Amino acid sequence: MPCNKKIISLKNVSMNYHTLSKETFALNNISFDVHDKEFVTILGPSGCGKSTILSLISGMIKPSKGNIYINSKHIDLCNSTVAYMLQRDNLLEWRTIKQNVLLGLEIKKNLCKESMQYALNLLKTYGLEDFIDYYPSQLSGGMRQKVALIRTLAINPQVLLLDEPFSALDYQTRISISEEIKEIIHKEKKTSILVSHDIAEAICLSDRVIILSKRPSKVKKIINIKFKLNNLTSIQKRKEPGFQKYFDEIWQEMNDSE
């Protein structure tokens, strides 16, 4: 898979935050690439600036140092779509499921017959067709997160940025929904970057895991995840001998302080 073309590359990116009382060095000289249709997870201790990386890739904030390229173009010049999925679903309670899903298209002033049909098809394909006129409060947490994903996919982005999108769910829902969402992302052929601090989740979902150190974060190690069989479910992967090996490797790496 990594032989595909590069979609995103970070070159020596550093990021500092300034407040009146202190200066925080969040990222220190981070470089990595993400290839087409790859699922990469960024793992790291909490507060290490994982989310900052996503904000940088989305272009919402600018790095203090270094460059970010999307499709080999500098991020300031590129217009390919990058879409965010956040920790909470952030569905707007006063809008129906359908209206929520169309929010991104409305904002991008891209709401036409075709794009609307595309969004509605996504809802249909992933089993939410019967709920399009419901309000978010009528759906369960897992379903809401799925709607949030479809809202993200509706703008037909090339890259998905997932900022701990499962952490607000209970454990059981979390496993089944992360599985389902991985499936959807795979079918829709998207490149994704997931931020997480759950090692098991990272192993089950990703093709590659990037481990960050404590602040100021550096890339500690990049681990390719490969199982013997290709399309195992999360639960099946957890039973594989390879799972434990990866888990130990990542665990050690994350707990090994320098």
Partner 1 sequence: MTVNKENTNFTNEHYIFLKKYKRKKFLITFFQFIIFALFIFLWELLSRYNIIDPFLLSSPSRIFQTIITLNNTGELWSNIFYTLCETIVGFLLGTIIGILIAILLWWFEFIQKISEPYLVIFNALPKVALGPIIIVWMGSGAKSIITMALLISVIVSTINMLSGFQNVDNEKLLLMKSFGATKIQILKKIILPYNVSNIISTLKINVGMSLIGVITGEFLVATKGIGYLIIYGGQIFNLDLVMTGIFILAVIASLMYIGISKIESKYK
Provide the binding-site residues for partner 1, judged by CB under 8 A: 58, 60, 83-84, 86-88, 90, 92, 94, 103-104, 106-108, 131, 134, 137-140, 142-143, 155
Token match 């707990």: residue? 255
Cα 240–Cα 242–Cα 244 angle in degrees, nearest 5: 85
**Beta partners for residue 27, in sequence order:** 15, 217
Smallest gap from residue 12 Cβ to partner 1 (A): 25
**Beta partners for residue 193, in sequence order:** 40, 161
Closer by beta carbon to partner 1, 44 or else 142: 142
Residue 157 near residue 83 (C-beta atoms within 8 A)? yes
Closer by beta carbon to partner 1, 93 or else 258: 93
Smallest gap from residue 77 Cβ to partner 1 (A): 16
Closer by beta carbon to partner 1, 26 or else 83: 83
Cα 96–Cα 176–Cα 251 angle in degrees, nearest 5: 125
Closer by beta carbon to partner 1, 131 or else 243: 131
Span between the terminal Cα atoms of the chain, in Å: 31
Smallest gap from residue 241 Cβ to partner 1 (A): 32
Q: What is the DSSP string of 162-180?
A: EESTTTTS-HHHHHHHHHH
Closer by beta carbon to partner 1, 70 or else 219: 70
Smallest gap from residue 140 Cβ to partner 1 (A): 6
Smallest gap from residue 55 Cβ to partner 1 (A): 9
